[in-house]
Each structure stands twice: as structure tokens, then as C-alpha cells.
A and B are shown apart, each in its own frame.
Chain A
């Protein structure tokens, strides 16, 4: 079965991105496909590579990057939500005249259409948030 996942909360404050991650791993372990994971609202903060949790804590951001690399999963960050919250890739940096980027590996910034497309293409869309 083809799954899409929506993550509406940032890392560490809410359990949502932890639950979404464990769910995503279980989806793959069951032999299903993840078409896309979409990050919206504060969920875009899952994509900043500048995060530095204490060494004895999980690194939520690099955990997503690793999942994307190992399983070729499309991690998409909403552009409008990202701009509001300062999640920046090369293209956004140039377009908006910023002096840095912070998008973690495996993520890409794109439009909300990617969320609707995932809803259309997938058998199930599961929402994690507050």
C-alpha cells in the first residue's frame, strides 16, 4: 500500500515528529511504500541541519535524513511555512536575499501542491500533529 505522512509539529517540543518517524519505519518494515513525507506548520523545523541536541538524546533531524537516504523517501518541506520560520535552501537564499542556508540533507523545499498530490496518489495519508 502507498502511504503519505504529514508532520505538523517541530521536533522536541511535541511528540508528533517522533511518532511520525516510528510510524514511517513500521510502514517500511511491513513492506509498504512511503510516497512522501510532508512537513507543514512548525513541522518545517524538522529540516534544519543546525540542530544540535545533547549527545545522549536522539537527533530527530539527522534521523529523517538517514531514513530518506536509506529508503529513498521524498521529504518535502512546505515553502510558505519554511519562509515564515527561516528554513532556507540554496534557491530560497538567493531568491530572498538571505546570507545562509540550513536545509538538512534529504529534504527539499516545495509547494503545498506536493501535499495535495500525495493525498491524490496515495492509498492513505496519516497526519501527525498537536
Chain B
């Protein structure tokens, strides 16, 4: 199953909600959700722990727009919009944690 998260983990608990509800699967970080994929912050340990259970992806265009493309946590896979489509194709169902 694919979990799409578009909220900054510093402001909203959408990512926490995924981690507390699901045992595994794929997480795609988009829009402000990409701040969860950035290293050096207070959220880094959480994402690293999550990667033991989830495959974590982040959308390239949203990282680039926010000036964060060069500081993505190791192990997070950066995808373009085509990669986003592939993730939706490969996983069923998909849920946007709005």
C-alpha cells in the first residue's frame, strides 16, 4: 500500500499518523511533506526508524522548490512525477493522508 504525505512533520501529525497505523508499505513525501526527508533536523531519527518498516520516497520537484534537494536523508529515494505514477501503479490501494 502507498501512503502519500503532504504535510510538514514539524507542523502536522500526518506522518506520525501513518507510522502509528500501518505496519509497513511505501511512503511518498510530497509538497510540504518533503521536509520529513531532510537530514539534520529533529525528524531525522523518526524517518530512519521508519525506514526499517517502510520504503520512503520523496518528490524531487518539491525538494528542489524548497532548496532541500541536496540534503536528503540517505536511504530516501527521490522520484520525479513519473516515479510518483509508477509508485501508484505498483501499490494498491493508495491513501493520501490529508
Are any A and B Cβ atoms less than 8 Å apart in their complex? yes
> 1/0 per position for B29-62, CB-CB distance to A under 8 A?
0111000000000000000000000000000011
CB of A129 within 8 A of CB of B92, answer: no
Tell me if A26 counts as interface (CB < 8 A to partner B).
yes
Q: A1-36: which residues lie under 8 A (CB-CB) from chain B? A: 1, 3, 8, 15-16, 19, 22-23, 25-27, 29-30, 32
Cα A29 to Cα B80 with chains together (Å)? 12
Q: How many B residues touch the partner, as a band? A: 20 to 34
Cα A26 to Cα B92 with chains together (Å)? 19
Residues of B within 8 A of A30 (CB): 82, 85-86, 89
**Interface residues in chain A, defined as those with a beta carbon under 8 Å from any beta carbon in chain B:** 1, 3, 8, 15-16, 19, 22-23, 25-27, 29-30, 32, 123-124, 126-130
**Known A26-B81, A26-B85; further 9 A-B contacts with Cβ < 8 A:** A16-B31, A22-B81, A23-B84, A30-B85, A30-B89, A123-B92, A124-B88, A124-B92, A127-B95
CB of B89 within 8 A of CB of A26, answer: no
CB of A124 within 8 A of CB of B96, answer: no
CB of B81 within 8 A of CB of A126, answer: no
Cα A8 to Cα B95 with chains together (Å)? 14
Residues of A within 8 A of B96 (CB): 126-129
Instruction: Write 25 A-B pairs (CB below 8 A) sorted by A numbering.
Output: A1-B89, A3-B88, A15-B31, A15-B62, A16-B6, A16-B31, A19-B31, A19-B62, A22-B81, A23-B85, A25-B81, A26-B80, A26-B82, A26-B85, A30-B85, A30-B86, A124-B88, A124-B89, A124-B92, A124-B94, A126-B94, A126-B96, A127-B4, A127-B95, A129-B98
